[in-house]
Amino acid sequence: MRLNDLLTAIEATPIATAVRESTWLFPTIESVHVLSIVLVVGTIMIVDLRLINVASRRRSVSGLMRETLPWTWGAFVCAVITGGLLFSSSAMKYAHNWQFEAKMVMLLLAGINMAIFHLGSYRSVTLWDRDSMTPTPARIAGGVSLAIWVTVVSLGRWIGFATN
Amino acid sequence: MMISAFCEWLSNTAVSMVIQNVYWIIPTVQTVHILAIATVMASVVMLDFRLLGVAARSQTLPELAHRFLPWIWGAVVVLLVSGSILITAEPGRDLLNEVFYLKMSLLACVLVLTFGFQLLVRRGGEFWEHRRMIARVTAVVSLVLWVGIVFCGRWIAYVAHG
C-alpha cells in the first residue's frame, strides 16, 4: 500500500471524519493536546535545568527524575493520542507539511538524546547525584534536550499557521 | 462600541502593523507564550499535588513553594508581556471575544489564590498541614482554574470575531 493510500484510508475512518466534521471536537482535542504538551515540556524542563545546573541544584538528580518522570510519560501518552486524532482528521495535509515532518524528526532526536543519557552518564548517577555541578555529558544532554523541546513547541505552533 | 473603536485604532498603529506584517513575529511570540505556560503548569502541578499530599513528599511545602513560586511569577510576567504583544497585533481577536474575558477572569482568580497561598506558606507549612480540607480545596481550585485558562487560550482562536 502506498503512503498516500494509507493517508486517505486514515482520513476515511469514522473517528477522523468525526473530528474533521464536528465544530467542537477539534478545538477540544487540541486543548487537551496543548495541556499535555505543556506538562511534557514543563516537567522535562525541571530535569534539564537541573542537568545544566540552573535550578534545583540542592536536589538529587535521581530523586528529581522520580518526581517528574511519571508526569512526563503520562502527559506524553495523552499528547500522542490527541495528536494522532488531530493528525487523522487531515492526514494527507499534515503528512505533506514540512513543519509536521520536522516535528516528528525532533521527537525522534529527543528520544535518541534521552537514550544516550540513560545508557551513558546516568548509569553512574550515584557518583554525582547530589553534586551541584553535573558531569559534562549530563550537561550536554540537558542543553540538547531543552533546545529540542523548544523547537518541538515552535514547530507545533507553525503547523497551525502553515496548514490553516 | 468604545472597545471596537479602540481595537480599530490600535490595529492601525505602527507597532501593530509591524507585528502583523512581519510573518514570523506572531508564531514566535506564541511559542514563547506556550513555553511560559509550560513553566507555570509544571510548577503548579508539582505544588498543587504536594498540597493534595500525593506528590513530592520528600520535601516540605515551604521548601517546594520556595523552589517553584519564583518560576510561576516569572513566567506570569512573560505571559503578560507576550500576551500583550499578541493583543496589539490583533486587538479584535481578543478584546471583542467573550472567551478572552473569561480567561482573564480565571487568571485574576488564580493569581489572587496563588498570592494568598504564598503569604500563608511564608508563615511555615503548619497552616496547610493542619488544615487538610482547606489545602485540598485550594489545590483543586488552582488546578481547575489553570486548566480552564489553557482551554480558554486555545478556544479564543475558534470564537474570534475580529
Give the whole-number percent of chain B exceeding pLDDT 70: 98
Q: Model ipTM?
A: 0.94
- Looking at the 3D structure of chain A, how many domains does it have? 1
Mutate to test the interface with B, among A61, A62, A67, A103 (most CBs of B within 10 A): A67
Residues belonging to chain A with any Cβ–Cβ distance to chain B shorter than 8 Å = 27, 30-31, 34-35, 37-39, 41-43, 45-46, 55-56, 63, 67-68, 71, 150, 153-154, 157-158, 161
Helices (H) and strands (E) in chain A, counts: 8, 0
In the prediction, which pLDDT does B78 show?
98
In the prediction, which pLDDT does B128 show?
84
In the prediction, which pLDDT does B66 show?
93
Domain range list for chain B: 2-155
In the prediction, which pLDDT does A1 show?
66
**Mean of the per-residue pLDDT values of chain B:** 93
Instruction: Give the one of A30, A35, A153 whose C-beta lies nearest to B35's C-beta.
Output: A153
Tens digits of per-residue pLDDT, A101-125? 999 999 999 999 999 999 999 999 9
Backbone angles phi and psi of A133, in degrees to 5: -115, 110
Closest by CA position to A33, among listed A95, A66, A80:
A80
pLDDT bracket for residue B59 (50, 70, 90)? confident
What's the average pLDDT block by block, 10 residues per block, for chain A (164 residues)?
A: 92 97 96 98 97 92 94 98 98 96 98 96 93 93 98 96 82
Question: What residues of B are in contact with residue A34 (Cβ under 8 Å)?
Answer: 34, 150, 153-154
Alpha helices in chain B (DSSP H): 2-11, 14-21, 25-51, 61-89, 91-95, 98-122, 126-130, 132-155
pLDDT bracket for residue B70 (50, 70, 90)? very high
Tens digits of per-residue pLDDT, B22-34? 999 999 999 999 9
Structure-block grid coordinates of residue B42: 509544571
Q: How far apart are the CA of A27 and the nearest CA of chain B, in angstroms?
A: 7
Chains A, B: CB contacts within 8 A come to 74
Q: What is the DSSP letter of A134?
A: -
Tens digits of per-residue pLDDT, B124-157? 878 888 888 999 999 999 999 999 999 999 999 9
In the prediction, which pLDDT does B162 show?
47
Q: Domain range holding A19?
A: 3-163
In the prediction, which pLDDT does A164 show?
74
Tens digits of per-residue pLDDT, B86-115? 999 999 999 999 999 999 999 999 999 999
